[in-house]
Structure 1
Amino acid sequence: MFELETKFKRLVKEILSEVKDIAKLFKRSGVSEKIFLSFVFYALLEGRSSVMRISREFGINYENALKVLGKLEGKWRKYLELLKEQIKGPVTILIDDTFSHKPYARLRNSVSNFGNYAAWCNEHKRFEAGVSFLTVILVDSEGGTSPVCALPYASRRLLDMGIGKEFNTKIDMVYEVVNYLKFRFNVKRIVFDSRSEKLVTDNVISELKSNRRILELVSASPNVDVEGCRHVKDLPEGEYIIKISRGSSVIEVKLVAVKNTGSINYVYSTNLKLSASEILREWKSRWNIEKFHRDLKSLGLEDTSFKRRDRLEGFAFLHALIARIVRNAMRKLGISSIEELHEFFEHCLHIYGGLLNIIKGEVRFT
């Protein structure tokens, strides 16, 4: 029993230290350390982190909490200073997007004034209200992952309707984030799901759509019949060097056609020197960003809506930070899910109820 209490106290102390290190980065911007601690510990204790609930639980002024979230807009750039100190060596950038459901959003002509719009939900197979987020994480040479940001973006349809003008499109946002990361880190490779002509440069790994036209088949795996193959979908399993269009130019890529759950995936690399196994290994690393998406939603990303984009971005960025802290805590405890972490905290607090007051004391009087 004493060992459990010691483990719990040590974990709380380490989390406090980690949060305070992050909070120091934003102190000059007027971002309260108290807000950080409140969001982190409420997520650990309750599993969700809505602004209203946290304000009530920790005695924080609701309007002040909203203002702090607004001040976190764009602070992912500042956060990179801390990651730069912690990550040594080359990194891989993983890029994807996720849809945050907003079931109570008021839609008008498929969109709302606050960035919520109706989009196809792959999970529920129907159109639903919500916000799309661009997500970016870094993977270091040892396989460690560090979330960078979760940025809300607008669809082209939204902008064409004259709504959500304060948002950027996904492609413009990706281009900005990638260039910023390239300037500060030794970027070994970029792995992304959705294609963008601006992103297709050296050391990119992505997937081609099956209907993509092959301009020229330079080489193919031995004993593979490629006669009459005009599109990517015509290629059987194997390795290929092909030429495809990129805007007005033509590029040469290494393509690996591999069967996955009944269908064939067409994964390519702009680095022709990579082996097929290296390309597929890097491609499979995208699972890390899928786990990041699940973490964001488990921690309450979908629980709160905002009328202002800056607060929405701040709320999402804060959840990205919390997701990293939570993952670190899970690794130290040797557990694999956020649900297990919540059960651990709930069990410890049931036994050592006084420790909850210690946590609240840290939040209140820091």
Structure 2
Amino acid sequence: MPHKAKMYVKKDEADEDFRTKIQIAFEDIIEPLGVPDGVELMIVFDSWWFSSHFITDCHELDYHVTCQLKSDKLVVPDDGTALQVTDYVKKFNTDDYEITRIEVRGKKKRYLTVERIVKLDKIGDVKLIISKRRRDTDPRYYISTNINLTGAEILSIYEDRWNIETAHREANQKLGFKDYQLRSKKAIERFIQLVFSIWTGLLILELNNPDESRKPKTIGEMVDEIRAEGLVELVKNILEYFNLPIPDGGLLHLIREMGIKT
């Protein structure tokens, strides 16, 4: 669920209270969280957000972090020699990679992985996952501050982050997120909150009405379904107003004949 979505203002356009995106994420979202006792919170982000200071701040709140690691970051394996992660990968041959299978968003995925505990500067011990989709593809690198997690668990946690990209795409395509024609910062932020309030409402509706006979619907599919239902009601009212019969095949058939996706 998009949380506290707001417009980001660049430093050269902001006032004296400018904060970086990482500062905003920590101070406005992570730090104020009220986590119930017994709940283990995992902060997940992609490589753009990687910052040793950010990670240690999260760790000081007793939150673990799982994230993607850029290829130029230094890791320190057991022998104590600091290496860029790309050079560290060269130490492993084909036989060192193990098959790791996970299931995410209803799909089964297979990876070739190496997992090791290494040290990161200013962070300490982390579980490093070197992951490939196939033997001839370039690896990707992931870390977790929870070194007790398996490679499959870390990859599954990181894969869940993809829902953020889904939210952006479907908000753009289905909820008009990129279609606003507003100029003031306040108006834009109101529009952002409106779009993601609708997103959240649809998501809660789907979660509260599960149908085990089918896979969960995407927000885009739900929006299309609601639009189709609204269009059916509109056509039905028009037909009733003019005392016209419902066409053969029903209203949905008529709407599809008009080239409208339902």
TM-score range, shorter chain: 0.5 to 0.7
| CA apart distance, 1:229 | 8.2
SS for the counterpart of 2:53 is coil
SS at 1:254 equivalent: strand
Say which of 147, 150, 169 aligns to 2:2. 147
Identify the residue that residue 179 of structure 2 maps to in structure 1: 303
Aligned amino acid, residue 295 of structure 1: E
Q: Gaps (5+ residues) in structure 1?
A: 1-145, 220-227, 355-366
Q: How far apart are 1:302 and its partner, in Å?
A: 1.4
Q: Following the alignment from structure 2 to structure 1, what is the Cα–Cα distance between the partners of residues 205 and 125? A: 44
Q: Which has the higher contact order (CA 8 A, sep 6+)?
A: 1
Q: Choose from 62, 67, 73 the match for 1:212.
A: 73
Deviation at 1:242, TM superposition (A): 0.8
Runs of 5+ in structure 2 lacking a partner? Answer: 93-112, 240-262
User: How far off its partner does 1:183 sit?
Assistant: 5.7
| One-letter code aligned to 1:164 | A
Give the match for residue 30 of structure 2. 178
Give CA-to-partner distance per residue, 1:286-342, whole Å, 9 cap, x none. Answer: 122122112321211212244332332222122111101223445648644233442
- Kindly provide the CA deviation profile for residues 152-200 of structure 1, in whole angstroms up to 9, marking residues without a partner as x: 213xxx31x3x23276421111111111124678452111112133331
Are 1:233 and 2:86 matched, yes or no? Answer: yes
Structure 2: how far apart are the matches of 1:272 and 1:352? 61
What is the alpha-carbon distance in structure 1 between the residues aligned to residue 45 and residue 74 of structure 2? Answer: 20
The TM-score normalised by the length of structure 1 is 0.47
Query: How many residue pairs are counted as aligned between the two chains?
Result: 194
- Aligned counterparts, 1:26-175, within 5 A: 146-154=1-9, 158-159=10-11, 161=12, 163-165=13-15, 168-175=19-26
Identity of aligned residues (%): 27
Q: After the TM superposition, which residues 231-310 of structure 1 pair with which residues of structure 2 at under 5 Å, given as runs?
A: 231-234=84-87, 235=89, 236=92, 237-245=113-121, 249-260=122-133, 262-297=137-172, 298-310=174-186
- 1:149–1:320 CA contact under 8 A, matched in 2: no
Is the strand fraction higher in 1 or 2? 1
- TM-score, normalisation: structure 2: 0.63
Larger Cα-atom Rg? 2
Q: Does 1:203 align with 2:64?
A: yes
Cα deviation, residue 275, structure 1: 1.1
Report Cα offsets for 1:107-140 as digits up to 9, x if no partner.
xxxxxxxxxxxxxxxxxxxxxxxxxxxxxxxxxx
In the superposition, relative to structure 1, how do residues 254 and 343 fare at CA in structure 2: closer, same or farther (>3 Å)? Answer: same
Counterpart Cα distance in 1 of 2:2 and 2:36: 15
Could you tell me how far apart the structure 1 residues matched to 2:233 and 2:217 are?
Answer: 15
Question: Hey, what does 1:104 align to over in structure 2?
Answer: none
The verdict on how the C-alpha distance between 1:184 and 1:171 changes in structure 2, with shifts beyond 3 A counting, is farther
Secondary structure at the residue paired with 1:300? coil
Q: Per-residue deviation at 1:254? A: 0.3
Question: How many angstroms apart in 2 are the aligned matches of 1:345 and 1:330?
Answer: 18
